[in-house]
Structure 1
Amino acid sequence: MVNQWVQSIGLDPAAYRTHFLRRTKATLIYRRTKNLRAVQLLLGHTKRESTVRYLGIGVDDALEISEQTEM
């Protein structure tokens, strides 16, 4: 399904696998909202650290977000 969609818009399906699209969407959501918790839930990660590594967020970014997130 993903390959057909990618091909239908003129892109090479080999360059856009499901995991690539999953990571890209999660990264875009994070950049727009800075809501790490929402991204963590969307990805199904149980640990915040996993999401931080997955998105490639630096330690300073993660600490800033953590301090701004009330629980």
Structure 2
Amino acid sequence: MKYAEFEIDSNNIEFFNSLFGNESIFGDKIEVSNKFSFFATKHKFDLGSDQFILSSSFKALGKRQLDLRIKN
């Protein structure tokens, strides 16, 4: 399921997450990172000459919340 989409400069970055903990990052429609995580992980990837880090964390207790942060 697609959870978020970012537009940074001319780059389109999409974050997908499955119920089974598989996270995928697509940059300009090409998969640039794929990791398994239920609670938190960092995806490091390049798009052209730019480097990005997308951090995800999921809080399951109380109000369920997915937190995404991206750095260039």
TM over 0.5: no
- Answer 1 or 2: which has greater helix percent: 1
- More RCO (CA 8 Å, sep 6+): 1
Q: TM-score range by the shorter chain?
A: under 0.3
TM-score (norm 2): 0.25
Point out the structure with max Rg over C-alpha. Answer: 1
More strand by share: 2
